[in-house]
Amino acid sequence: MADPTHDEEAERRRPGAPTGGAPALADDGDVAFGAMAGTAVLIALLVAVFLPQLGIIGGDTAGSHSEDKVVEVDDLEVDETASAEVGVVADVTASQGGITLNGTVPSQAVADDMEARALSLFAPDRVTNNLTIADDETSSFTINYTGQVTDPVLGARLQGLFAGVAGATIESTPEIVEPGAAEAALNALEPIEFASGSADIVGESAVILDEAAEILNGEPGLALEVSGHTDSTGDDAANLALSEARAAAVVQALQERGVTNDLTPRGYGETRLKEDPDETPEQQQANRRIEFRVL
C-alpha cells in the first residue's frame, strides 16, 4: 500500500529534482560559479606565464637587487686594488734644523741604513725616526722626499742622501732656496777669526761681532743656528769638538752685546766642507768658518 505521506508526483515537480531518468541540469547559481572558477584559472595561468617576463614578480626583481650587490662588491674590489697599488711608502722631510723619517720600509736593514744616512748630516737629537717595517714581504718602495734649506752645502748633501738605498724609488728631493735678508747679511760679513787650534776669538773680529749683533737686534724674533766648521786636517773627533767650542764662543759674544735672539750653537767639524777636497791653504781657510742659518 502506498505511503500517504510521499507524493511521488509532487516530488517530480519540485524545482531541481530529476525528471524520469534524465540527468539534472545546473541552476543559474551553479552556472555562474563555474564560469568564475574557469576565469580564475585562466588569470592564474596568465600571471604565471607573462608577469615574470615583465619583471613584475619572480626572479627579475630579486635579480635586480642581486645585480646592485654585485656592483657594490665590484666597486669594493676596485678600491682594494687601488690601495694595493700605492705600495710601501716612506715620507722624509728635511730642513735646516733636522730630518724626519716617517712611513714604511721593506725591512729593518733598510730602516737602519736610512737612519745612519740621516745621522751623517745631523746630530741624534735632530733626527726623528718613525719608520715602520712592512707587514707584507716586498723588496721595493718609494721615498717621498721633501723640504727646503738655505745652506747650499747641506742642500747638496741632502739631495743625494738616499741614493742607493736598496729597493728605493726616490720622488723629488729637498730644495735649496734663497735665505732671508738677515741671514744673507750675517753670512756676507767677514769671517770671524780664532786663534789657531782654539775657540779664542781674535781681537780683530770684535768689529765683525758688533755688526752681527746689530743685524740680529733688528730681527729679535729670528731663531738661528750658529754653526762651527773646520777643515779636514787633523783628527775628526778633535775637529768636531773644536767646531762646537767656536760656535758656543760666538753665541756668548753676541749675547754679551745684547742679542736676545734664540741662538743655538752647533759644531759640524769637517762633515760639511765647502771645498772638498781641501788640499790647499786657501781651501782649508774657506772651510774654517762660522755660519748663521735661520731655523
Task: Identify the bridge partners of residue 290 per DSSP, sorted by sequence position.
Answer: 228
Q: What was the pLDDT predicted at 86?
A: 58
- Tell me which residue of 223, 96, 183 sits closest to 148, measured CA to CA: 96
Measured distance CA(217)–CA(212) in Å, rounded: 9
DSSP secondary structure string for all residues of 65-103:
HHHHHHHHHHHHHHHHHHHHHH--EEEEEEETTEEEEEE
Q: Which domains does the chain have, with CATH numbers?
A: 89-176 (no CATH), 181-294 (3.30.1330.60)
Q: What pLDDT score was predicted for residue 290?
A: 98
Mean pLDDT of 230-240: 96
Tell how far CA 293 is from the center of its chain: 29
pLDDT tens digits, one per residue of 183-219:
999 999 999 999 999 999 999 999 999 999 999 999 9
> CB within 8 A of 149, min separation 6: which ones?
94, 95, 96, 155, 158, 174, 175, 176, 177
- In this prediction, residues 50-60 reach a mean pLDDT of 48
| Mean local confidence (pLDDT), 3-24 | 46
Alpha carbon distance 5, 75 (integer Å)? 89
Average pLDDT across the chain, whole number: 82
Give the pLDDT confidence score for residue 87 in this predicted structure: 86
Given this model, what pLDDT does residue 117 score? Answer: 98
Check residues 10 and 244 and name the one with the higher pLDDT. 244
How many angstroms separate the CA atoms of 78 and 71, rounded?
11
Structure confidence at residue 48 as a pLDDT band (50, 70, 90): low
Confidence label for 77 from pLDDT (cuts 50, 70 and 90): very low
